[in-house]
Amino acid sequence: MSDTTVTGAILAAAADQARPMLTYYNDSTGERTELSGATLGNWAAKIGNYLRDEIGVLPGDPVRVDLPEHWQTAAILLGSWWAGAQVLIADDGDGRVVFTSRDRIDSHDEDEIVVVPLDPFAMGVRDLPVGISDFGESIRAHGDHFVPSGAGRLAVDSVTVQQVLTAAPDGLGADDRVLSVRPWHTVADLVANFAAPLAAGASLVYVDGSADEAALAKTASTEKATVTWR
Residue 210's pLDDT band (cuts 50, 70, 90):
low
Domain housing 188: 6-229
pLDDT value for 61: 98
Instruction: Give me the CATH number covering residue 75.
Output: 3.40.50.12780
Q: 36 in a domain, yes or no? A: yes
Tens of pLDDT, residue by residue over 152-190, are 999 999 999 999 999 988 899 999 999 999 999 899 999
Q: What angle do CA 183, 194, 207 make, to 5 degrees?
A: 50
**Minimum mean pLDDT range among 74-83, 141-150, 203-212:** 203-212
Tens of pLDDT, residue by residue over 102-138, are 999 999 999 999 999 999 888 889 899 999 999 999 9
Q: 1 in a domain, yes or no? A: no
Task: Tell me the mean pLDDT in the region 143-157.
Answer: 97
Whether the pLDDT of residue 211 is over 70: the answer is no
Tens of pLDDT, residue by residue over 193-207, are 999 999 999 999 999
Mean pLDDT for all residues in the chain: 95
pLDDT value for 170: 83
Domain count within the chain = 1
Positive or negative CA dihedral for 179, 29, 137, 154? negative
Whether the pLDDT of residue 3 is over 90: the answer is no
Q: 144 in a domain, yes or no? A: yes
Tens of pLDDT, residue by residue over 23-55, are 999 988 889 999 999 999 999 999 999 999 999
